Chain A
Protein backbone atom coordinates (compact mmCIF):
# COMPACT_ATOMS: atom_id res chain seq x y z
CA UNK A 1 0.00 0.00 0.00
CA UNK A 2 2.93 2.33 0.60
CA UNK A 3 3.91 2.18 -3.06
CA UNK A 4 0.37 2.81 -4.22
CA UNK A 5 0.08 5.76 -1.84
CA UNK A 6 3.27 7.46 -3.04
CA UNK A 7 2.36 6.75 -6.65
CA UNK A 8 -1.00 8.46 -6.06
CA UNK A 9 0.75 11.45 -4.42
CA UNK A 10 3.09 11.69 -7.39
CA UNK A 11 0.21 11.42 -9.86
CA UNK A 12 -1.79 14.02 -7.94
CA UNK A 13 0.97 16.64 -7.80
CA UNK A 14 1.92 16.11 -11.44
CA UNK A 15 -1.72 16.28 -12.52
CA UNK A 16 -2.12 19.60 -10.67
CA UNK A 17 0.72 21.15 -12.67
CA UNK A 18 -0.47 19.66 -15.97
CA UNK A 19 -3.98 20.92 -15.28
CA UNK A 20 -2.84 24.43 -14.36
CA UNK A 21 -0.60 24.94 -17.39
CA UNK A 22 -3.15 23.50 -19.83
CA UNK A 23 -5.21 25.76 -22.07
CA UNK A 24 -8.95 26.21 -21.94
CA UNK A 25 -11.53 27.25 -19.37
CA UNK A 26 -11.16 26.49 -15.65
CA UNK A 27 -13.62 23.65 -16.00
CA UNK A 28 -11.76 22.13 -18.96
CA UNK A 29 -8.46 22.33 -17.12
CA UNK A 30 -9.96 20.76 -14.01
CA UNK A 31 -11.21 17.82 -16.05
CA UNK A 32 -7.88 17.57 -17.85
CA UNK A 33 -6.07 17.39 -14.50
CA UNK A 34 -8.46 14.71 -13.27
CA UNK A 35 -7.99 12.80 -16.52
CA UNK A 36 -4.20 12.93 -16.20
CA UNK A 37 -4.44 11.70 -12.61
CA UNK A 38 -6.71 8.84 -13.61
CA UNK A 39 -4.45 7.86 -16.50
CA UNK A 40 -1.39 7.79 -14.26
CA UNK A 41 -3.09 5.47 -11.79
CA UNK A 42 -4.72 3.28 -14.42
CA UNK A 43 -1.56 2.77 -16.49
CA UNK A 44 0.57 2.17 -13.39
CA UNK A 45 -1.84 -0.54 -12.20
CA UNK A 46 -1.91 -2.18 -15.63
CA UNK A 47 1.89 -2.14 -15.86
CA UNK A 48 2.13 -3.44 -12.31
CA UNK A 49 -0.04 -6.45 -13.14
CA UNK A 50 1.87 -7.12 -16.37
CA UNK A 51 5.16 -7.10 -14.46
CA UNK A 52 3.62 -9.36 -11.79
CA UNK A 53 3.10 -12.14 -14.35
CA UNK A 54 6.49 -11.77 -16.03
CA UNK A 55 9.18 -14.17 -14.77
CA UNK A 56 11.69 -11.51 -13.80
CA UNK A 57 13.03 -13.11 -10.63
Chain B
Protein backbone atom coordinates (compact mmCIF):
# COMPACT_ATOMS: atom_id res chain seq x y z
CA UNK B 1 0.00 0.00 0.00
CA UNK B 2 1.30 3.42 -0.94
CA UNK B 3 2.11 5.60 2.07
CA UNK B 4 1.07 9.21 2.11
CA UNK B 5 3.82 11.64 3.06
CA UNK B 6 3.48 15.31 3.85
CA UNK B 7 6.39 17.47 2.89
CA UNK B 8 7.60 19.73 5.67
CA UNK B 9 10.83 20.83 4.05
CA UNK B 10 9.53 23.99 2.46
CA UNK B 11 11.73 27.02 2.55
CA UNK B 12 11.03 30.53 3.83
CA UNK B 13 9.68 32.05 0.60
CA UNK B 14 7.45 29.00 0.00
CA UNK B 15 6.08 29.25 3.50
CA UNK B 16 5.43 32.96 3.17
CA UNK B 17 3.74 32.38 -0.18
CA UNK B 18 1.50 29.67 1.27
CA UNK B 19 0.42 31.96 4.10
CA UNK B 20 -0.21 34.81 1.67
CA UNK B 21 -2.30 32.52 -0.53
CA UNK B 22 -4.25 31.41 2.55
CA UNK B 23 -4.82 35.01 3.53
CA UNK B 24 -5.97 35.88 0.01
CA UNK B 25 -8.36 32.92 0.03
CA UNK B 26 -9.81 34.00 3.35
CA UNK B 27 -10.06 37.64 2.29
CA UNK B 28 -11.71 37.13 -1.06
CA UNK B 29 -13.51 33.81 -1.67
CA UNK B 30 -11.95 32.11 -4.69
CA UNK B 31 -8.87 34.34 -4.87
CA UNK B 32 -6.56 31.78 -3.23
CA UNK B 33 -7.11 29.35 -6.09
CA UNK B 34 -7.19 32.10 -8.70
CA UNK B 35 -3.66 33.30 -7.87
CA UNK B 36 -2.48 29.70 -8.21
CA UNK B 37 -4.09 29.46 -11.65
CA UNK B 38 -6.58 26.83 -10.55
CA UNK B 39 -9.25 28.45 -12.67
CA UNK B 40 -12.00 25.86 -12.42
CA UNK B 41 -11.64 25.43 -8.66
CA UNK B 42 -11.56 29.19 -8.17
CA UNK B 43 -14.75 29.57 -10.19
CA UNK B 44 -16.54 26.74 -8.39
CA UNK B 45 -15.44 27.67 -4.86
CA UNK B 46 -15.77 31.41 -5.35
CA UNK B 47 -19.09 31.01 -7.12
CA UNK B 48 -20.47 28.76 -4.40
CA UNK B 49 -19.39 31.01 -1.51
CA UNK B 50 -20.37 34.31 -3.15
CA UNK B 51 -23.62 32.78 -4.37
CA UNK B 52 -24.46 31.36 -0.98
CA UNK B 53 -23.68 34.64 0.77
CA UNK B 54 -25.83 36.81 -1.51
CA UNK B 55 -28.62 34.23 -1.55
CA UNK B 56 -28.56 34.32 2.25
CA UNK B 57 -28.94 38.09 2.26
CA UNK B 58 -31.70 37.89 -0.35
CA UNK B 59 -33.58 35.31 1.69
CA UNK B 60 -33.68 37.71 4.64
CA UNK B 61 -30.90 36.25 6.73
CA UNK B 62 -28.90 38.42 9.05
CA UNK B 63 -25.23 38.62 9.96
CA UNK B 64 -23.95 38.45 13.52
CA UNK B 65 -21.62 40.86 15.28
CA UNK B 66 -20.62 41.76 18.79
CA UNK B 67 -22.11 44.90 20.25
CA UNK B 68 -21.36 46.59 23.58
CA UNK B 69 -24.77 45.36 24.81
CA UNK B 70 -23.63 41.73 24.57
CA UNK B 71 -22.16 40.58 27.88
CA UNK B 72 -21.32 37.11 29.20
CA UNK B 73 -23.23 34.28 27.57
CA UNK B 74 -25.00 36.67 25.23
CA UNK B 75 -21.61 37.71 23.86
CA UNK B 76 -20.65 34.06 23.32
CA UNK B 77 -23.92 33.42 21.50
CA UNK B 78 -23.05 36.27 19.15
CA UNK B 79 -19.35 35.47 18.88
CA UNK B 80 -19.60 31.92 17.51
CA UNK B 81 -21.93 32.74 14.61
CA UNK B 82 -19.94 35.92 14.02
CA UNK B 83 -16.80 33.81 13.49
CA UNK B 84 -18.75 31.70 11.00
CA UNK B 85 -20.03 34.81 9.19
CA UNK B 86 -16.57 36.42 9.18
CA UNK B 87 -15.25 33.50 7.14
CA UNK B 88 -16.78 35.19 4.11
CA UNK B 89 -13.92 37.71 4.31
CA UNK B 90 -14.38 40.85 2.28
CA UNK B 91 -18.10 40.20 1.92
CA UNK B 92 -18.58 40.34 5.68
CA UNK B 93 -16.28 43.35 6.05
CA UNK B 94 -18.15 45.24 3.32
CA UNK B 95 -21.47 44.49 5.04
CA UNK B 96 -20.01 45.60 8.38
CA UNK B 97 -18.73 48.89 6.97
CA UNK B 98 -21.98 49.64 5.14
CA UNK B 99 -24.13 48.24 7.97
CA UNK B 100 -25.88 45.92 5.53
CA UNK B 101 -27.44 42.60 6.48
CA UNK B 102 -27.38 42.99 10.25
CA UNK B 103 -31.09 43.72 10.61
CA UNK B 104 -33.54 40.94 11.50
CA UNK B 105 -36.19 39.98 8.94
CA UNK B 106 -37.91 37.37 11.06
CA UNK B 107 -41.23 38.01 9.33
CA UNK B 108 -39.89 36.44 6.14
CA UNK B 109 -40.64 32.74 5.61
CA UNK B 110 -37.10 32.14 4.40
CA UNK B 111 -35.43 34.00 7.28
CA UNK B 112 -33.89 30.90 8.88
CA UNK B 113 -32.74 29.65 5.50
CA UNK B 114 -31.04 33.00 4.98
CA UNK B 115 -29.23 32.77 8.30
CA UNK B 116 -28.05 29.26 7.51
CA UNK B 117 -26.83 30.28 4.05
CA UNK B 118 -24.84 33.18 5.52
CA UNK B 119 -23.28 31.06 8.27
CA UNK B 120 -22.38 28.21 5.96
CA UNK B 121 -20.98 30.55 3.28
CA UNK B 122 -18.35 31.66 5.80
CA UNK B 123 -17.63 28.15 7.02
CA UNK B 124 -17.22 26.85 3.48
CA UNK B 125 -14.76 29.63 2.76
CA UNK B 126 -12.65 28.45 5.70
CA UNK B 127 -12.54 25.06 3.96
CA UNK B 128 -11.62 26.71 0.66
CA UNK B 129 -8.87 28.66 2.43
CA UNK B 130 -7.36 25.47 3.86
CA UNK B 131 -7.50 23.87 0.42
CA UNK B 132 -5.72 26.85 -1.17
CA UNK B 133 -3.10 26.77 1.59
CA UNK B 134 -2.51 23.04 1.09
CA UNK B 135 -2.05 23.52 -2.64
CA UNK B 136 0.39 26.40 -2.08
CA UNK B 137 2.30 24.32 0.50
CA UNK B 138 2.61 21.43 -1.94
CA UNK B 139 0.50 19.06 0.13
CA UNK B 140 -2.12 18.78 -2.56
CA UNK B 141 -2.25 19.16 -6.34
Contacts and interface: CB of A to CB of B under 8 A. Distances in A.
A10 B117 contact: yes
A20 B116 contact: no
Task: Say whether chain A's binding surface is mostly helix, strand, loop, or mixed.
Answer: helix
B110 A14 contact: no
Given A6-B59, A10-B113, A10-B116, A17 B140 contact: no
Interface in B35-60: 41, 44-45, 47-49, 51-52, 55, 59
B1 interface: no
Interface size class of B (residues with CB under 8 A): 20 to 34
B109 A2 contact: yes
A13 B140 contact: no
B103 interface: no
B124 interface: yes
Interface of B: 41, 44-45, 47-49, 51-52, 55, 59, 109-110, 113, 116-117, 120, 124, 127-128, 130-131, 140
* CB-CB nearest 9 A-B residue pairs: A21-B131, A17-B124, A13-B48, A16-B48, A6-B113, A13-B52, A20-B44, A17-B48, A20-B41
